[in-house]
Amino acid sequence: MNIKNIKSAFPIFKQKINGKPLIYLDSANSSQKPQTVIDKISHFYSTEFSNVGRSVHTLAVKATNRFESTRDKVKNYLNAKHREEIIFTKGATESINLVASSFGEKFINQGDEILTTELEHHSNYVPWHFVRQKKGAIIKFAPVNEKGDVEIDEIKKLITNKTKIIAITHISNVTGAIMPLRKIIDLAKEKKIPVLIDGTQGAPHLKLDMQDLDCDFYAISCHKMYGPNGLGILYAKKKWLDQLQPYQGGGGMISEVLKEDVTFASSPTKFEAGTMQTAEVVAFSEAIKFLESLGMENIQNHENEVLSYGIEKLKRNNSVNIIGDPKERGSVICFTMKGIHPHDIATILDDDGVAIRAGHHCCQILHDKLGMPATARASIGVYNSKEDIDVLCSAIDNCKKVFKI
Ligand SMILES: Cc1ncc(COP(=O)(O)O)c(C=O)c1O
């Protein structure tokens, strides 16, 4: 497969939107799916479907094997040490809720501190807010600077002997800042503080190696990695999973259920209560194959080229104000246009077949700091090209004409 004509692997691009070719610049929200992933879902339901981890009939055993072999594939893809460290969830949101709830229950008490940043998506704040409410904990926010970065020194300043966890994003879904994870994790290690990374915007774009990164928890959205919707992953170090209690109960996650007590299965099963997403997990193996066949370094280089081209071209348009100028930027360009509401920008761009997102992107704290209720966001995926950026820019010019600015 060649990255330059990779659009042909995605059937969605065969259609026109409002009579124009689809220019999809909303992958930070959710990515499109290659034909191989779609075919796998259809094939699984047509020929192999059964619930997993329960029955012993032929289909059930086959489905369970497919499900578990995807776990092995994810383990290898992330270079996790143990397959038990890979837990399937319904998305990064559930992955973070799992950690906040189970880790918070056991290790966070009155007056303890959770250290996060002003850049976070609501998924990496609201679950910690629940812990704050329940346990009387304190949430500290490392400030974002005018470039859209969070400096390591700001994180350092906020660490105290009450800090129980550092929960930070890998890449901001608004400023695009790539966080200095190596420095943050090294610092946390010195202080023996576990680190959770919201890897939602990192995993689709960067090569990951959990053993090298050495974080404690890493949350992933499979639906932003060209995989099926309704699926996420929590990578968690075995030492934590062995100590944590599950945060939801039900079928499949138990060892023994008695009237007097319940004991739980070991990880990952104890964190996967109830019927799991089956076709989604099985088909996610195709999304990994897709990423591996292109190579993460090639994907990164290609996306960086498109991103830099986009930033340069939009900078030349004096009606466009780009949000943030981080030291290292990944995949997103948030912008505003004087006199045009971001929702109007998104609506007018849609007339030209250009799909972007407008709003606060689930980052209200950051938008409050920016003094803006909303921004427009073009985000880049593997299928985008410089030509897509050209179409975006001419759609922005059309927008200017409509609003006479
Ligand atoms: C940075 C970030 N964190 C978390 C999430 C939530 O991910 P999910 O939709 O998989 O729950 C998103 C989704 O937009 C995100 O951009």
State the catalytic residue, choosing from 215, 222, 334, 362: 362
Summarised one tens digit per residue, pLDDT across range 304-318 is: 999 999 999 999 999
Q: Is 90 exceeded by the pLDDT of residue 320?
A: yes
Q: Is the CB of 201 under 6 A from ligand 1?
A: yes
Burial (CB count within 10 angstroms: exposed 0-12, middle 13-18, buried 19+), residue 256: exposed
pLDDT at 365: 96
**Residue 296: which of 69, 36, 78, 73 has the closest Cα?**
78
363 is catalytic: no
Cα–Cα distance measured from residue 116 to residue 101, given in angstroms and rounded to the nearest whole number:
16
pLDDT at 145: 97
3-state secondary structure of 393: helix
Q: Is 80 exceeded by the pLDDT of residue 1?
A: no
pLDDT at 405: 83
21 bridge partner residues: 16
Cα–Cα distance measured from residue 182 to residue 188, given in angstroms and rounded to the nearest whole number:
10
**Residue 204: which of 128, 129, 284 has the closest Cα?**
284
Confidence of residue 2 (pLDDT cuts 50, 70, 90): confident
Which residues of the chain does CATH 3.90.1150.10 include?
A: 3-26+295-403
Domain 38-292: CATH class, spelled out: alpha beta
Summarised one tens digit per residue, pLDDT across range 167-221 is: 999 999 999 999 999 999 999 999 999 999 999 999 999 999 999 999 999 999 9
pLDDT at 313: 97
pLDDT at 404: 87
Q: Is 90 exceeded by the pLDDT of residue 284?
A: yes
- Give the chain's mean pLDDT: 97
Cα–Cα distance measured from residue 222 to residue 84, given in angstroms and rounded to the nearest whole number:
18
Domain 3-26+295-403: homologous superfamily in CATH? Aspartate Aminotransferase, domain 1 (3.90.1150.10)
- Kindly give the distance from the C-alpha atom of residue 405 to the centroid of ligand 1, in angstroms, as a whole number: 34
Question: Ligand 1: which of 200, 206, 217, 332 to mutate, most ligand atoms within 8 Å of CB?
Answer: 200
Cα–Cα distance measured from residue 221 to residue 90, given in angstroms and rounded to the nearest whole number:
8
pTM of the model: 0.97
Q: Is the CB of 173 under 6 A from ligand 1?
A: yes
- Kindly give the distance from the C-alpha atom of residue 121 to the centroid of ligand 1, in angstroms, as a whole number: 7
pLDDT at 165: 98
Confidence of residue 379 (pLDDT cuts 50, 70, 90): very high
Burial (CB count within 10 angstroms: exposed 0-12, middle 13-18, buried 19+), residue 280: buried
378 bridge partner residues: 333
The atom of ligand 1 lying closest to the CA of 91 is 10
pLDDT at 76: 98
Cα–Cα distance measured from residue 132 to residue 364, given in angstroms and rounded to the nearest whole number:
18
276 in Cβ contact with 70 (< 8 Å):
no
Summarised one tens digit per residue, pLDDT across range 74-133 is: 999 999 999 999 999 999 999 999 999 999 999 999 999 999 999 999 999 999 999 999
Which residues of the chain does CATH 3.40.640.10 include?
A: 38-292
Percent above pLDDT 90 for the chain: 97
84 in Cβ contact with 268 (< 8 Å):
yes
| Structure-block tokens of residue 174 | 């608004």
Summarised one tens digit per residue, pLDDT across range 134-163 is: 999 999 999 999 999 999 999 999 999 999
The C-alpha angle 227, 30, 279, rounded to 5 degrees, equals 30
Q: Distance between terminal CA atoms of the chain?
A: 43
